[in-house]
Amino acid sequence: MPANKAKAAAAAAIAIPLMPEGTKVVAQFKSADGESTGPPLNLPADVTPEQLELLLNQLLEQSEDPIPYSFYVGEDEIIKSLWTDRKDKSTEDTITIVYQPQAVFRVRAVSRCTSTLSGHTEAVLSCAFSPDGSQLATGSGDATVRIWDLNTETPRYTLRGHTGWVLSIAWSPDGKTLASGSMDKTVRLWDPKTGKSLGDGLKGHTKWITSLSWEPYHLNSKANRLASSSKDSTVRVWDTALRRVIMTISQHTAAVTCVKWGGEGLIYTASQDKTIKVWNSSGVLVKTLQGHGHWVNTLALSTDFVLRTGPFDHTGKKYPTEEESKAAALARYKAFKGSKPERLVSGSDDFTMFFWEPETSKKPLTRMTGHQKLVNHVSFSPDGRYIASASFDTSVKLWDGQTGKFLGNLRGHVGSVYQVCWSSDSRMLLSGSKDSTLKVWDIKKMKIKLDLPGHQDEVFAVDWSPGGDKVASGGKDKQLKIWRH
């Protein structure tokens, strides 16, 4: 152990004195609104969150269908045990344990294919639900983007204009614009309500577009700034209203594979030059994250889901003004993020993933190893508790979203896994694979919940609607499938 690590370990050992055998505390459960639940309880001072959860579910008489909770004493979340995570070790006074439910709503597993929609004449390469889940778009190798009517499950508009494969699509956070990036080196903007193109393609990149990311709604409710990354090793940020480039970010020395616009206004870019770079929203390089030994393919932010859905939550509430939606999006973001920095996970062709907190350090918190082939896709669960990774080694792996620790394997696919997607309550994960199936996994049990065959060939793209009621999938068989409970 290096000297500084040894010192840190010694300091930590001093910081947490050993608990005297049999120490008890008197604790009172309170809800987030400050209402007391049950009587004050005499608990062992090193009680764990799992034990507290059992107790609380019994007190609330919901042991049949327990709800998961997180527990806090003051500012400290109880993660390991009450003794370790509580700064004040006194056992004199009654301590208040505040509990917060996790996703109170439950998403039901999709179990049947309700429609198989043809229309694309080549493989479906990307599919995405709009932020409020009311619209669905797909991009394809036939150079078109299609928008589908979800109520009738029929094709609505075919958006023509690209002259090459449509590699990625992205909904603006207000759901009013759809962007698509193509092999033809352009980014196009569309009005999903009318199916019309908003002007001509945005030109500037000299090679194909690899990924798109809009500025988060709570930072810019006009939703008029879009970042596009390209094989030409640059990232361009566009003003989508004025239809011009605001800035070009060009310090990568190889293709940029992925761009993410984070909740604090930082732009993260992953590249085949083996680095990840962090930029501020004026395009100034803030940090370079190094560690990978091969191309970096994919990035995931702990805030992805809350940024994707912006002001829209599971209640489906609509806000009359832009200010109110912006305030709602900001409140959701703040509530989600708490005081912790945004976390980033990167997956690479070197078979590993790294776990970063780019706001605080350019060194990775941990290196996540275990996959035996390249990591194609990583994704944080909506509540930020888990990370799922999909790899060409046919496995999906599950990791702790706070620490990056390995939790388990989800095995069942017999071909490369291309993409994973979470249900909005973070209790299930969906994966799409080269073996032509989709699989739904139960996260608590770490087992397969449902096998969804139906596609005739490899499944390239999957998405679970933010409301949790529908799943869309597409792939090599040119069909879009919609799945429901």
- The mean-pLDDT minimum among 12-21, 218-227, 389-398, 402-411 falls in 12-21
Q: Are 127 and 461 in contact (CB under 8 A)?
A: yes
pLDDT value at residue 419: 94
Q: Give the 3-state secondary structure of residue 412.
A: coil
pLDDT tens digits for range 292-304: 999 999 999 999 9
> CA 206, CA 185: separation in Å to the nearest integer?
6
pLDDT value at residue 338: 78
**Per-residue pLDDT band at 284 (split at 50, 70, 90):** very high
How much is the average pLDDT of 159-188?
96
> CA 418, CA 459: separation in Å to the nearest integer?
8
pLDDT value at residue 30: 86
pLDDT tens digits for range 183-215: 999 999 999 999 999 999 999 999 999 999 999
How much is the average pLDDT of 359-369?
92
DSSP 311: T
Share of the chain above pLDDT 90, in %: 64
pLDDT value at residue 306: 92
**Per-residue pLDDT band at 14 (split at 50, 70, 90):** low
CA distances from residue 136 to 156, 203, 227 in whole angstroms, order as listed: 10, 26, 21
pLDDT value at residue 103: 67
Of residues 162 and 467, more confidence is placed in: 162
How much is the average pLDDT of 344-350?
94
Torsion angle of C-alpha atoms 80, 384, 290, 182, degrees rounded to 10: 170
Kindly tell me if the per-residue pLDDT of 260 is higher than 90. Answer: yes
Q: Are 187 and 228 in contact (CB under 8 A)?
A: yes
Torsion angle of C-alpha atoms 321, 325, 330, 332, degrees rounded to 10: 150
Torsion angle of C-alpha atoms 224, 227, 228, 233, degrees rounded to 10: 150
Kindly tell me if the per-residue pLDDT of 439 is higher than 90. Answer: yes
What 3 state SS string does 109-120 have?
CCCEEEEEECCC
Residue 172's closest CA among 124, 247, 222?
Answer: 222
pLDDT tens digits for range 304-328: 999 999 988 877 788 889 999 999 9
How much is the average pLDDT of 215-225?
93
- Per-residue tokens: 477: 């068989």
**Per-residue pLDDT band at 337 (split at 50, 70, 90):** confident
Kindly tell me if the per-residue pLDDT of 458 is higher than 90. Answer: yes
b/e 328-362 (16+ beta carbons within 10 angstroms → b): bbbebbeebbeeeebbbbbbbbbbbbbbbbbbeee
> CA 146, CA 348: separation in Å to the nearest integer?
31
Share of the chain above pLDDT 70, in %: 96
> CA 451, CA 57: separation in Å to the nearest integer?
31
pLDDT value at residue 428: 93
**Per-residue pLDDT band at 68 (split at 50, 70, 90):** confident
pLDDT tens digits for range 121-162: 999 999 999 998 999 999 999 999 999 999 888 999 999 999
Angle, CA 346 vertex, CA 124 and CA 314 arms, to 5°: 65
pLDDT value at residue 50: 86
Question: Which residues are within 8 A (CB) of 282 and not within 5 positions of it... i.e. 6 or more apart?
Answer: 247
Kindly tell me if the per-residue pLDDT of 9 is higher than 60. Answer: no
pLDDT tens digits for range 88-124: 777 777 888 888 777 667 788 888 889 999 999 999 9
pLDDT value at residue 16: 67
Q: Are 336 and 303 in contact (CB under 8 A)?
A: yes
pLDDT value at residue 187: 97
How much is the average pLDDT of 10-35?
74
> CA 123, CA 281: separation in Å to the nearest integer?
35
> CA 315, CA 302: separation in Å to the nearest integer?
22
Kindly tell me if the per-residue pLDDT of 1 is higher than 70. Answer: no
Kindly tell me if the per-residue pLDDT of 10 is higher than 70. Answer: no
Transcribe 355-396 into DSSP letters.
Answer: EE-TTT-SS-SEEE---SS-EEEEEE-TTSSEEEEEETTS-E
How high does pLDDT run on average in the chain? 90
How much is the average pLDDT of 260-286?
94
> CA 442, CA 55: separation in Å to the nearest integer?
23
